[in-house]
Amino acid sequence: MKLETINKLCCPFDQEDLQLTIITKDIQENIVEGVLVCSSCKRVYPIVSGIPIMSPDEYREFKLEQPLLERLTKEKVSDNFRLM
């Protein structure tokens, strides 16, 4: 994901701004791994292989995403994909 893309993204639930935490970049400075957190509702969206995963909650698998989200955020994530 290109860094400029963050300016075009918002939380799909409440249209608020997202805070970006970059974990890894490639040699072209594209974001490979990171996390987006909504500044309002605190929902967490991972960036995996350069792709932000921003699916609605009902299409997300918490048991599959929980280890990744907690590794990326270094915080506990509730089963509704929000920071605790």
80 within a domain of the structure (yes/no): no
Half-sphere exposure of 9 (CA within 13 A, CB side): 22
pLDDT > 90? residue 64: no
Q: Mean pLDDT throughout 63-68? A: 78
pLDDT tens-place string over residues 7-63 = 999 999 999 999 999 989 999 999 999 999 999 999 989 998 999 989 888 888 878
What stretches of 15-80 adopt beta strand conformation (E)? 18-25, 31-38, 44-48, 51-52
**Are the CB atoms for 52 and 8 separated by under 8 Å?**
no
C-alpha to C-alpha distance for 11 and 60, rounded to whole angstroms: 15
| Per-residue model confidence (pLDDT) at position 84 | 64
24 within a domain of the structure (yes/no): yes
pLDDT > 70? residue 80: no
22 within a domain of the structure (yes/no): yes
| Structural domain range at position 33 | 3-73
50 within a domain of the structure (yes/no): yes
Per the structure, the count of domains in the chain is 1
